[in-house]
A and B are shown apart, each in its own frame.
Chain A
Amino acid sequence: MSRLRREEEIDLLEQTLIQAHKVKVQEAPHLSREWADEVMRDIRRQANREPSFSEVPYVIWRAAAVIAIVSTLFVGSVLTWTAGQRDADFSALLTMATADSAFSTLLVGEP
């Protein structure tokens, strides 16, 4: 069989397959109401399993607010505690300095 004849046959087959594809699309099976109900059941199941799209930002904002409040309380308490510690240290230092001064006066006799 000549090469030219073979090429013609391949062209014919190719055209046939294109036609077959068109027929296949035209004769697509009808998607029934029952099929649609089944899809909706699946989608509703999925919607119940996950938070809805509108809930997602709400949850994020609520979580962010809680984190902000907890962070503020933590930072506030740390600052308060640090300030208290600084006051205590200063008092202790002052007490020590006063005590040292009284002791040296006692040893020498006169200030």
Chain B
Amino acid sequence: MGPVVGCRVVASGSGLPEEEVIRRVVAGEVDLFEELLLRYREHVGRIVAGHVPREMVEDVAHDVFVRAYTSLPTYSFRTPFSHWLSTIAVRSCYDVWRSVSARKEVSLSGPSEAVEEQQEWTEHLLAAESRDRFDTMVRQRDATNLLQRALAQLSPENRMVVDLVHLEGHSVREAAELLGWTVVNVKVRAHRVRHQLRKILDTLLKDST
């Protein structure tokens, strides 16, 4: 959140309340959008980083802000702007995986190389004896890569549900709001995909032993 004066959120730069900045951007003062961009870039960056590989974050975040600008007239001020922006960010990430899926780009790197890395990493993990060592390993990029490869085996829809519900800990209702789906749809997917993910992890373990 940005600086707060009384009960009104004030955007940096112009010193105008955020609501006024949004209204002026919609009225045609395009340059004022930069205040919103600078204010929320880290917020959007974190959301996007949770759903797409690191090297894609800048491009997807760029797309999120362009979409936010073009959709700004539809913003109703009923929810906080950050929440509205979050839904655009999550849906942009979903669109990325849909297009990747359409292009049949299941793996982000070569398949044989990926299997070797997976095996090596899971062997290290299972050999880890102390909690400290385990924590250190968690920080390794290998874990992120393995995560990406496990998620790459899921459909774009299931992938987003795993990200939001299982990995980020959002409630089913929150995930449904972010994705613009029904609660029932997300609930059913969340239940099924948990089993699917565990099967994938089981396969990874089999490969490594």
Contact = CB atoms under 8 A, between A and B. Distances in A.
Interface of A: 1, 6, 9-10, 12-14, 16-21, 23-25, 27-31, 35-36, 38-40, 42-44, 46-47, 52-55
Q: What size tier do the contact residues of chain B reach? A: 35 or more
Contacts of B48: 28
A47 B58 CA distance: 21
Contacts of B139: 23
29 contacts: A10-B202, A12-B125, A12-B126, A13-B125, A13-B204, A16-B138, A16-B143, A21-B144, A21-B168, A23-B143, A24-B49, A27-B49, A28-B42, A28-B46, A28-B57, A29-B45, A31-B41, A31-B45, A31-B58, A31-B61, A36-B34, A36-B37, A44-B30, A47-B28, A47-B30, A52-B27, A53-B26, A53-B73, A54-B28
A20 B135 CA distance: 10
The A contact surface, by secondary structure, is helix
B28 A43 contact: no
A54 B138 contact: no
A60 B205 CA distance: 63
